[in-house]
Amino acid sequence: MQPRVELVRVFPEGPAGGNPAPIVLDAAGMSDAQMQAVARSSGHESGFVVPASAASGADFGLRFWVPNHEMSMCGHATVGAVWLLDREGLLPRDDVRIETLSGLVAARVVGRQVEVSQPAGVVEAVPDDVAAAVAGVLGITAAELAAPLQNARTSRVKTLVPLASVEALDGLQPDFGRVEAVCAALGSTGLYPYAVGDAAGQVFHARQFPRSSGYPEDAATGIAAAALCFGLLEQGRVRADETPIHVRQGQAMGSPSRISLRFRLSGEQVDGIWLGGRVELAAGDAVR
């Protein structure tokens, strides 16, 4: 029996926006090969709801596949899966704990949106010689970088590439054949160039070019947006409070998306972040 695969669009900003995510709500009997086949046939990061292990204390588990391999965590597929479970009346409560290969993840339904937790980020500087190589892959010179590059991670390392304007960001024409090699040299899973949209409103624009997912660009990348927030925090470009930060992505692909994030505080210390946004069923409702 073929699993029912629901296609949702996560973080949409407009009718054609968001990142498509195929979701299987009952993947308990699926093999690794079957899960990967779903991702390959759709060409998108896909989420699979499975039972949690008894020792985890989680409400359920999630596994994630891209066309080329399994991933430990996928922000937008988690948001999409929780939204779909809630829509189908299968979510046990508004606040749930999810077992993933990256560890336990908290998620909650807040009004019409879903938020997913990520741990506090770790940020490291990128050496100048590697930064020059990154610029070359993106089709620009090192002189066009607006600030030093950073490697930042919550669940996975992303390389943050600051540019001077949104126009420069949208105009990037990467050499996709070289992305994997430069990411390997960086120990990174993707290049995440970004630019300031509205500094006062904490709005930033970004694009993601993944290392080896099986497609060249993402329309919305929650894990990368979370990493970006910690890079910006280290630079003093966002406030260390619960003021929303918005990351717009996908415009250059014709799939405009908006990811909303808020730092999670313990006292006055930032100890993690919530990432979230809207979800909607994609046209056609389901793929099989």
- Can you list the pairs that 21-24 forms with residues at least 24 positions away whose Cβ atoms lie under 8 Å? 21/45, 21/46, 21/47, 21/74, 21/76, 21/77, 21/80, 21/81, 22/46, 22/47, 22/287, 23/47, 23/48, 23/49, 23/77, 23/80, 23/81, 23/84, 24/48, 24/49
Q: At 112, which helix (H) or strand (E)? A: none
CA atoms of 241 and 68, how far apart (whole Å):
38
Q: Which one from 45, 99, 115, 217 is the annotated catalytic residue?
A: 45
Q: Is 45 a catalytic residue?
A: yes
Phi/psi of residue 14, nearest 5 degrees: 115, 170
How many CB atoms within 10 Å of residue 286? 12
Neighbouring residues of 234: CB distance < 8 A, sequence distance ≥ 6:
123, 150
Phi/psi of residue 101, nearest 5 degrees: -65, -20
- Please identify every residue annotated as catalytic: 45
